[in-house]
Amino acid sequence: CNLCVMCAASSFMWLEPLSEWLKREVNATTSDISWLTSSIEFSDIIFVLPCSLLADRWGRRTVLLIIGPLCIISWALAMFTRGLIFLYLVRCIQGIILGVVFAVAPMYSAEISSSKIRGCLGANFSFMWFLGTLYTYATGHYTSYRTYIICLSIFPILFSLSFFFMPESPYYYFMVKDNVKAATALKWLRSGEDINDEFCLTQEAVLNDMKQKGGWVDLFATSSDRRAFLIVQIVAFVRYMSGLTAIIAFASDTFASDSDRLIKPEQFTLAMGTILCISALFSSFLSDTVGRRRLLIWSTIGSTLSNLSISIYFFLQEKTSVHVQTIAWMKYLGVASFCVCSNVGFGQLIQTVQAEFFPTHTRCIGGAVTGVTSGIFAFINLKLYHTLNEIFGMYMNFLTFALVSLIGAIMTFIYIPESANKSLAEVNENIKKITNEPLIGSV
């Protein structure tokens, strides 16, 4: 399943190394490139809801298998066509890929994993995303366009071949009342371990939860539903508005005009991608030991300080006569620490939190709504990046990111409870206790 995340990452990031190529080959302006980069969010927002609903109707595995063919089609178009219109079509297809991955993959991972490793698997989503980003940086900056597209086509082929042999989610089988297939899938996933207790608990929890019809109203039907929705939206807001999306999408352009030029822009993107990968890898082991809540608080506070330091650097560079060459380390240290801090918490936990806090009967619809809000947040973040830079200067972007991170820290401290090492049923029961609701069976 994690290979599909690399497919999504390369689909999202592939334009980053191509700024000069786009200006040269298709006569794209800076505004065109900005719209191309952010336009992927339009189809993401439109298709994330149908993808989530189809996951309930067809199954999580079936919907995820669509990713491979869609990726191949998009890369074929990128390879054999030229012009902005075709590139927008490519971005439209890639937006569907994002919608599938972000709405269905976290759900599938959470439902097939045991409570002991769910946080680690959820964090692997982040690691695979940044591994795909690093791969895109490395191949895009140092190979020809045709070779670059061929390299990006490898992941969807590998994903299709490997994921074809994975079982469907046991939760889905329980939802459609196919207990035999649910038991078979659970046995395969637990590799011969005794599944009797888990089978009975999961079956009871899903059946109890499915007594409620999972519609739009159910997202806000009770105080616990509203609290769960708020929790997920807080993490999504911080994840997509605190700057990480825009920074990795426009890394080369952001630091191409720096006066210090200690390293080349393409070298900077590779270094940043490497830091993101390493920090995501190590942070994946922290989620279940340190705890989600504590990591989110540390992450948002650290991101606030990191973005603030970068903002100060750019303010001194753009608005004063201070020679910033002597404090260039401030910018690089700020970016590096932001990469680490974001990955420790909200960068890697958004999928885990989404899968854990939404109960079974609203998990699909909740994932769809979160996909829409995340797409809106990401689009705003990407489009405002160049706008704020042109009107105020680059420092305003990072000052805004610092403010978002600070708001996230406060909201996390107030509203988000711990969910590490708890079953999905226990997470939901804990929310009910917090909101003083009766503890009826739900997941």
User: Alpha-carbon distance 11 to 132, whole Å?
Assistant: 9
CA atoms within 13 A on the CB side of 33: 25
The half-sphere exposure of 20 on its side-chain side, counting CA atoms within 13 A, is 10
CA 95 to chain centre: 13
Percentage of the chain with pLDDT > 90?
Answer: 39
Radius of gyration of the chain (CA): 22
This prediction has a pTM of 0.81
Q: What pLDDT digit, counting tens, does each position of 408-421 carry?
A: 999 999 999 988 77
Query: What's the whole-number mean pLDDT along residues 369-385?
Result: 89
Would you state the pLDDT for residue 343? 84
List all residues 6 or more positions away from 63 whose beta carbon is below 8 Å from its beta carbon: 51, 54, 55, 100, 104
Tell me the HSE value of 343 on the side-chain side, using a 13 A CA sphere: 30
Q: What would the CATH number be for the domain defined by 1-166? A: 1.20.1250.20
- DSSP class of 321: -
Q: What is the pLDDT of residues 256-312, one digit of tens each?
A: 655 556 677 788 889 899 998 888 887 777 777 788 899 999 999 999 999 999 999
According to DSSP H, which parts of 322-359 are helical? 328-344, 346-357
- When pLDDT is averaged across residues 197-206 and rounded to a whole number, the result is 82
- Domain range 214-434, CATH class: mainly alpha
The answer to whether residue 15 scores a pLDDT higher than 60 is yes
